[in-house]
Amino acid sequence: MSSEDRVGEDSRNCIAVDLHDIQATILRHRPEPYFGTHVFLHINDAHGGREFLRRLAPHIGSAADWWKAGDAWIAVAISYPGLVALGVPGDSLRSFPEAFRAGMAARAEELHDYGANDPKNWERPFGSGQIHVQVSIVSPTEDKWHRTMETARQQYEGFSGVTVLLIQDFGAQPGSLNSLGYKDSIGQPAIEGSGVEPLPGQGRPIKAGEFILSYPGEAGVPLAMPQPDTLGRNGTYVGLRKYQSRVGAFNRFLRENGQNDEERELLAAKLVGRWRSGAPLTLAPAKDDAALGEDPHRNNDFTYANDPQGKQVPLGCHMRRMNPRDTKMPVLTDVNIHRLIRRSTTYGAPYDANTISELDDEGARGIYFLFISAKAMSTLEFLQQDWINDGTFMNLGSERDPLVGLQEERNTFTIPKEPVRRRIHDIETFNVLRGGEYLFMPSLSALKWLAGLNAEAAERPARHG
């Protein structure tokens, strides 16, 4: 199904967000297949940084034509040290949330990024304060990827204002699978007023202010936003977490706990809540159904109402933790205030089920987990503390998320079933955190403001406000 199919006249009539000012990535789904590159840059001096943004700004995609599948686009986001390097006035810098200003590495304690995930083990330049700007090129074809990459390259190559720190290509693996062999990017929130028609099962549209600054959120009012308004309006935050997938450990775990391919695939499905094809266990509990996994009108159309104890979809599996939907939980929470727009990208060699050696645990492959939220920092801290690295909210004691939890104490994973539940011991950390950053994704007009095109107006609110 193409994106065009998801926008009727009705939905276009009720667009309430400023699509022309919002960056494309916020509303555009990751294409399938997808190709692209993340470029991480350092600003050498304020003038050079602003000049770079001025050159780049006309090439940044807006969300105006989000339904046009087939285009490649460029996105840009800036870290707090990047805003400082650009010479953003002090009053304005102070208006950003504390966790954003501190940076992801400094918030390791709040994020429970300990042990293997500790920032001291991260790959440089992550967590060093050197990353100022992230430019991402996303494309549905290889050809458009190269052409769009060339456009981006022309803005920074040979330009003394910025230095390239890291270039990371990414792309869909054969069959659109991620580094552990699963189809991903299926469960996404519908956004009220965006014109994007909700897919069956997506639930009621979430208030735009949860994802884009300056619009009312679920609480009925907009979140506090960076000042001046020109800078904050239509912007948002991006959380980036670079994970290295320990494919050898994952495959060994499946082999040790499954007698044959069938049992191993069922276990892989129980860890996530979906078969690797994307078919949800709620709708295909006993056997994979690849056609169901492929079909966006059916593959998310379910609740957990008929499975309160998790006999089909374990309460502690990744997907049910990350979006419990209608699961009755001992700790009362409004699940709609913890939703994320996910724009993750897979990098490195394709998943191989026969890879089992310990050497394969260190391979350079995994996921740049990228998510968008107007309160990215507090949402990530909540998820890491309560839903990923703990099990109390589902009556699972200290059990952790089997895909992204940090399994420091050789934890367990419980699969409820008749007549007795199965408890698997010695689950390992399958995805190790290798870096992370918080970034601000400005609107297109804020980008121009930052570039200094409107410098005089920019100074006024800063002086008085």
Nearest C-alpha neighbor of 436 from the set 387, 369, 383: 369
Binding of ligand HEM at residue 117 (CB under 6 A)? no
45-53, 176-184, 227-235, 389-397 -> range binding ligand HEM (CB under 6 A):
176-184
Nearer to ligand HEM, 37 or 345 (CB): 345
SS3 for 193?
coil
415's enclosing H/E stretch is strand 413-415
Q: How far is the C-alpha of 170 from the C-alpha of 334, rounded, in Å?
A: 34
109-117, 154-162, 237-245, 353-361 -> range binding ligand HEM (CB under 6 A):
237-245
Q: Which of 155, 173, 178, 327 binds ligand HEM (CB under 6 A)?
A: 178
The residues that bridge with 436 in the sheet, in sequence order, are 241
How many CB atoms are located within 10 Å of the residue 4 CB? 11
Q: Which of 74, 383, 439, 451 binds ligand HEM (CB under 6 A)?
A: 383
Cα separation values, 96 from 90, 226, 265, 440, Å: 10, 5, 45, 9
* Tokens describing residue 323: 């979006």
Nearer to ligand HEM, 57 or 240 (CB): 240
Q: Which string of x and - marks every residue 295-324 that binds ligand HEM (by CB under 6 A)? A: -----------------------xx--xx-
The residues that bridge with 62 in the sheet, in sequence order, are 23
Binders of ligand HEM among 394-433, rule CB under 6 A?
403-404, 431
401's enclosing H/E stretch is none
Q: How far is the C-alpha of 50 from the C-alpha of 37, rounded, in Å?
A: 22
Nearer to ligand HEM, 51 or 401 (CB): 401
Binding of ligand HEM at residue 112 (CB under 6 A)? no
Binding of ligand HEM at residue 437 (CB under 6 A)? no
Q: Which of 186, 225, 268, 269 binds ligand HEM (CB under 6 A)?
A: 186
Q: Which string of x and - marks every residue 243-262 that binds ligand HEM (by CB under 6 A)? A: x-x-----------------
10-18, 78-86, 177-185, 414-422 -> range binding ligand HEM (CB under 6 A):
177-185
- What dihedral angle (degrees, nearest 10) is formed by the CA atoms of 386, 391, 394, 397? -140
How many CB atoms are located within 10 Å of the residue 292 CB? 18
Phi first, then psi, for residue 384 (nearest 5°) are: -60, -40
SS3 for 432?
strand
Phi first, then psi, for residue 426 (nearest 5°) are: 60, 40
SS3 for 419?
coil
Q: Which string of x and - marks every residue 14-33 that binds ligand HEM (by CB under 6 A)? A: --------------------
57-65, 181-189, 391-399, 454-462 -> range binding ligand HEM (CB under 6 A):
181-189
Q: Which of 78, 137, 367, 458 binds ligand HEM (CB under 6 A)?
A: 367
Residues that bind ligand HEM (CB under 6 A): 178, 180, 182, 184-187, 241, 243, 245, 272, 274, 318-319, 322-323, 340, 342, 367, 369, 380, 383, 403-404, 431
